[in-house]
Structures are given as structure tokens and as C-alpha cells.
Amino acid sequence: MPNLALIPTFLRECLVSRSLPREPEPDLVMEDAEQVAAYAEAGRINGAMAAAYLFHSAHISQVIQECRTVLDLGCGPATQLAQIAQLNPDIHFTGIDLSPNMLADARLHTEALKLHNVDFRQADITRLDAFEDHSMDAVISTMALHHLPTPEHLDRCFAEIQRVLKPGGALYLTDFGRLKSLQSVIFFAYANAHHQPHLFSLDYERSLRAAFLKEDFVALAAKYFSLEVCVQSTFKVPFLVVIKTADKPLPEAFRQRIAALRGELKPRYRRDLTDLRLFFALGGLKNDPFA
């Protein structure tokens, strides 16, 4: 059963006619050491984002099956990337981020997990100069695109993805969609405030305010990619948006592993995962790997 606390937010969003004005985040690069530490601490795999991490790790794994090289744009402290790399040990991942502090934390995290299929580079996701044309089997990004300051930067990012991705390559990008009401922003940003540092909740609020419209992603997907790339979002209210290529079958052993990871989630995070699965399924996202 979905979280009943979401219903007032859902109704409010459906009734408002216009989205909030976009408020780009003041800093493109997260450099403050305290902010990085708070973000990494609250955002680790057993924290408030546990359900979202597992949801995207499973769906990304469906997209990148049979790939050998995957580029992760805006990897941050690599919590999401590390989980995906653990689930797909035969694939090599490269995470890029502008923040040296984030990358230092990412390296420590993957070293602690003894991961040997991940490396990192400091780079701008709108300028992938270190990567040759059509050199990557897949490009992924989770909750990073809203950090771009303008729609023009988002356009350049999509152009670079198209350039470095092999023809017919795999793609999975996910980010927030811009909400319509300030009440909804506050609800989502502070729903888990008692489980995470205030700086993490504040960053969450700023991220929601900086989100692009779902229509922005639809337009860029059509501009730079073929019809095989689809754009899906949570039902009615595009709180989360996914831009992806077609799924590939998952081995049964993989399905059993993510089912076990789901069972290890704390009860409230299992409920969060159920909500994510439901609202994306109602929005049209197919091939639920947890089904």
C-alpha cells in the first residue's frame, strides 16, 4: 500500500497549473568539507536514500547488461555507483565529478568495499574531453543533472552523452522533475529530516528547486537520441524522471540477489521502495526487476 502521507501532496500537485520557477543551485561544485561529509554520511547505502539506490541499481543493471564500459556522470561520493559496480563485477565503471572532495570520498568508499572495477576522474559533465567519440558502451547518471546551472548546460551535457556513447549504446539518466508547489518541495525535502543531518535536507530542498521540467528531458531526448530512448516519470506528478534505453533480461541469480537486498532494507525503506515501484509502474515504467 502506498504511503498515505503522499496523497495530499499528490492532489496539490495535480491541481496547480504551473511549476515553480527554477532556482539554480548557488554552487555548481560541492566543495565545502562539512557539506560533503553531511551529504556522504546521510546518503550512504543504509541511509534515507536506501530505497532509491536499490531501485535505480536494479533498473540500471537491466539496461547495462552485456556492456563492458560504463560512464557515470556526476558520481558524487559514489554510493550509487558502488552498489551498481558490486552488482555488475564484470563491467568497468568510470565515475566523473567536478568536486575533488567528492572524488576523494568516492575513492575511499570504493577502496573500503574492495572494488576493482571502478575508477574516477575529475571532469565537467558538459565537457567530456577526456573521452573519445563513441568510446562508451553505456552512460548513466543518477540525481546529478539538476546541478547544471542553465538549460543550455543541460543541452551541452546531452550533446556530449551522444558523442561519447557508442551507436546503439545503453543509457539511463534519472533526476528530479520540477514540482509545482513550494509545499510539495518542503514535504519531500524534509520528510526524513529526523533521520538525516540538516545540511542533507537543505541540499535536498535546493536540488528540488533546481530541477528541470520533465518536458526539458523529453525535448532533449528527442533532439539527441533515437526513438528507442524513452522518458518515464512517476505517475501524474513527475517527482522523478528516467530517460533510458531498452531493458535486457536479468539472470535469475541477479534477481535473487536484489530480492535479498530488498529483504535487508529497514521496514520503512522497504515501504519507500514499494512506493517507488508503484508510482513508476503507474507512470509507464515496465519490467520491474523486483516482481
Q: Where exactly are the structural domains of the chain? A: 6-282
Q: What is the pLDDT at residue 5?
A: 57
The CATH architecture that domain 6-282 belongs to is 3-Layer(aba) Sandwich (3.40)
CA gap 42, 179 in Å, rounded: 23
Q: What is the pLDDT at residue 43?
A: 61
The answer to whether 31 and 22 have CB atoms below 8 angstroms apart is no
Low-confidence ranges of the chain (pLDDT < 50): 1-2, 28
CA gap 210, 154 in Å, rounded: 12
Q: What is the pLDDT at residue 1?
A: 46
Q: What is the pLDDT at residue 180?
A: 83
Q: What is the pLDDT at residue 181?
A: 83
Q: Which residue has the cell 551498481?
A: 84
> What's the DSSP call for residue 227?
T
